[in-house]
Structure 1
Amino acid sequence: MLRGINLGKRQLKSAELKAVVEGMGFTEVKTILASGNVVFEAGDASPEALERDLHAALEKATGLKSDVYVRNRADLEKLVAANPFPKEAEERPSFLLVTFHREPPSQAAIDKLLESHDGPERMVILGRELFTDFPEGQARSTLIPAMQKAKLAHANTGRNWNTVLKLLAALGE
């Protein structure tokens, strides 16, 4: 998963992303949606090495600098099984956001943010991922600007529940 792709001037066509990954020698390459998602067969490569190597290959091929977050099928299966908001995921999957981090977010920082925030959103940290339920959607939420102001998280990338399920399904094919 690439951070911030196809937002503003940070454009990367799915075909370009696929070509970069195939050019690195990976197989079974498929892009998912047009927001910087790609699945592929990587053999025994470590996630950390993949993140570093994909970042470098993308920058070299396209000039685009983007943080890369790698999760394998087992990671996504575990994440889906542990979803703290199963009812919300079923009823309004586009309003449930999973943000992927390199290191777990700070529970103390999340608690402090939620204490000072007057909104219906709920947040749960599971491992390195942060699940955020936006009952009224992200567009009207005041939580995201509050998170940015609080400088809550290091670099991360978010995917709604629909996209998480599409990524897992693509890994299972």
Structure 2
Amino acid sequence: MSAVRHRYAALLRGIAPSGRNMTNDKLRGVFEGLGFEDVASVLASGNIVFRSGETDVPALERRVEAALASELGLSSRTIIRGHPELRALLDSDPFPGLTHGRGTYLTATFLKDATPPTVPVPGQSDALTQFVRYDPAARVVLAVIDTSDPGRASRFMASLEKACGRDITTRSWLTVQRIVRKLES
């Protein structure tokens, strides 16, 4: 292991604050048990920031997934991004002039691997869903959803899963901003 401690964010799929084994304290405990440092939660939806000397991100993801399964019985997919990737994504300003809200729900869907979506993202030409772009450096699909239709977001997420597979997790743009602020604090 390297003496340099890298800052990472683990984005856990399928974490619900109401799940008894999904509480922030239990999730942080798993990360601390793996020997990671400066472990902290961001909101109550499966966002954990930490430091590690390890640089093999796929190996980190596998370690976290195995520990979540063995210690908490969770089969959560784990997607890890380094601070530089997330900082660059924020600095790229993918939603210029837009504010997160009901009519402009700004989303970032992170893909586990580096394979970009091979088909056009469903909803790209839909008046209530706008595909912004795929960012290959952060491996993320950026989109704007008008949530005035109550089922719009869930239908869009289902279409993304169909196009990209199940190794994805979506965060609001506000959450991504909070994660980066936590990584920098």
Pair in the same fold by TM > 0.5 = yes
User: Higher strand share goes to which structure?
Assistant: 2
Partners in 1 of 2:88 and 2:70 — Cα distance? 33
Aligned pair 1:142/2:149, yes or no? no
How far has the Cα of 1:106 moved from its partner?
1.9
Q: Closer, same or farther in 2 for the Cα pair 1:152/1:38, shift >3 Å?
A: same
Pairing of 1:1-173 with structure 2 (within 5 A) = 1-6=11-16, 11-88=21-98, 91-92=99-100, 95-102=105-112, 103-106=114-117, 108-110=119-121, 113-114=122-123, 118-123=126-131, 124-127=133-136, 128-134=139-145, 136-137=146-147, 140=150, 142=152, 144-145=154-155, 148=158, 151-154=162-165, 155-173=167-185
How far has the Cα of 1:44 moved from its partner?
3.0
TM-score (norm 2): 0.80
Name the amino acid aligned to 2:15. I
User: Higher helix share goes to which structure?
Assistant: 1
Q: Closer, same or farther in 2 for the Cα pair 1:96/1:6, shift >3 Å?
A: same
Do 1:119 and 1:143's aligned partners in 2 also have CA atoms closer than 8 Å? no
Do 2:42 and 2:179's aligned partners in 1 also have CA atoms closer than 8 Å? yes
Runs of 4 or more consecutive aligned structure 1 residues displaced over 3 Å after TM superposition: 7-11, 141-144
TM-score (norm 1): 0.85
How far has the Cα of 1:118 moved from its partner?
3.4
Do 1:107 and 1:125's aligned partners in 2 also have CA atoms closer than 8 Å? no
Gaps of at least 5 residues in structure 1 are: none
Root-mean-square deviation (CA, aligned residues, Å) is 2.4
Gaps of at least 5 residues in structure 2 are: 1-10
